[in-house]
């Protein structure tokens, strides 16, 4: 009788352990599936309305926006990419801040055919939004590289050699 009771107890214990393992595996599978669905939803949303992350650097979407707007290869010297968009209404503006070396600066200036301006001006600071990573007072002291296209479309670019920090502002009026 004791051996039967012992065997039944072992079978019951093994059953509970097996059921718990199956339950854990099912939960793990469910979580992975939810993550994949969430990621697919984000990708779809990004195709319809491109995502910008002004509060976290180097996100997947910030790297994609960097490539979209700056149109240069995302090399290892490029870090701390922040970006922001304000594309509601008739006009739109886009702000980018990132660290890079002078070779990347040169590629950006050449790619966008930017011209150096040493004269002080407003440079559309009223259109720019304030962020920790976008210091207008510091930017005002830097030399501006710019380009103006049709229909009041502008590209502004500043580079701080000391901090190796670039600022890019793309806007239309």
From residue 131, alpha-carbon distances to 58, 123, 137 in Å are 16, 17, 12
Check residue 32 and give its pLDDT: 66
- Report phi then psi at 160, rounded to 5: -95, 105
Q: Comparing 13-22, 91-100, 163-172, which segment has the lowest mean pLDDT?
A: 13-22
Beta-carbon contacts of 43 under 8 Å, excluding residues fewer than 6 positions away, are none
**pLDDT tens-digit series, residues 75-93:** 999 999 999 999 887 789 9
Which residues 6+ apart lie within 8 Å of 62 measured at CB?
52, 53, 56, 81, 82, 83
In this structure, are residues 77 and 103 in contact, taking their beta carbons and an 8 Å threshold?
Answer: yes
Across the chain, what does the average pLDDT equal? 85
Summarize pLDDT for 142-163 with one digit per residue, the tens. 999 999 998 889 999 999 999 9
Residue, of 28 and 126, whose pLDDT is higher: 126
pTM of the model: 0.73
User: What per-residue confidence (pLDDT) applies to 16?
Assistant: 59
Confidence at residue 114, expressed as pLDDT on a 0 to 100 scale: 97
Instruction: For residue 118, name the pLDDT band (cuts at 50, 70, 90).
Output: confident
What percentage of the chain has pLDDT greater than the value 70? 71
């Amino acid at each position: 009788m004791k051996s039967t009771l012992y065997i039944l107890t072992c079978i019951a214990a093994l059953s509970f352990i097996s059921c718990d393992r199956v339950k854990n595996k099912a939960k793990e599978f469910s979580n992975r599936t939810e993550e994949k669905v969430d990621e697919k939803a984000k990708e779809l949303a990004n195709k319809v309305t491109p995502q910008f992350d002004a509060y976290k650097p180097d996100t997947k979407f910030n790297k994609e926006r960097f490539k979209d707007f700056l149109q240069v290869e995302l090399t290892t010297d490029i870090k701390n990419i922040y970006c922001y968009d304000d594309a509601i209404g008739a006009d739109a503006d886009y702000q980018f801040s990132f660290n890079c070396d002078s070779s990347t600066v040169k590629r950006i200036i050449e790619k966008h055919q930017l011209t150096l301006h040493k004269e002080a001006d407003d440079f559309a600071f009223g259109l720019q939004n304030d962020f920790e990573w976008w210091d207008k007072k510091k930017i005002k002291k830097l030399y501006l590289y710019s380009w103006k296209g049709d229909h009041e479309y502008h590209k502004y670019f500043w580079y701080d050699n000391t901090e190796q920090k670039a600022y890019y502002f793309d806007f239309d009026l």
